Amino acid sequence: MAEKFLMPKLSPTMEEGQIARWVKNEGETYDAGETLAEVDTDKATMEMTALTGGTVLKILKVAGETALLGEAIAIIGTKGEDITALLSEVSANGVASSTPQPSVDQAKAEAAVVATMATVAEQEPLKSD
């Protein structure tokens, strides 16, 4: 089932994020764990990875555009799905017509990002010669 892909909270102080680049373009399929986009936060550039496989059906925020937390940045789902109803829910600027509420998938995505950040933090620092 197609769904809105919302800007997740990628750092504790993040209020908005800027799409640095889309790794997957409209129409491209992806597997769980693959990076969909890179987002510039108030702290660093972070990767947004997929929790499940699917297809990028529509990109709502292109590289260089900024989105608030919970704002729709893309529509994802299964190739060939009708996304007209979802598109009608999103206004011209990509904000959901009702106040966005974090979905279960978004909460899982935020947890995955935190886990990835923790893994990176646990790695040994590079040693210089």
Full pLDDT tens readout for the chain, 129 residues:
899 999 988 888 889 999 999 999 999 999 999 999 999 998 899 999 888 899 999 999 999 999 999 999 999 999 999 998 888 888 644 454 434 445 555 555 665 555 555 444 455 555 555
Task: Give residue 92's pLDDT.
Answer: 47
Domains plus CATH for the chain?
3-122 (2.40.50.100)
pTM, full prediction: 0.69
The CA-atom distances, in angstroms, between 60 and each of 44, 56, 74, 107 are 22, 11, 5, 20
The two three-digit tokens of residue 25, written as one number: 């373009």
- Residue 114 phi/psi, 5-degree rounding, is -60, -40
Q: Helix and strand tally (H, E) in the chain?
A: 2, 8
Task: Give residue 45's pLDDT.
Answer: 93
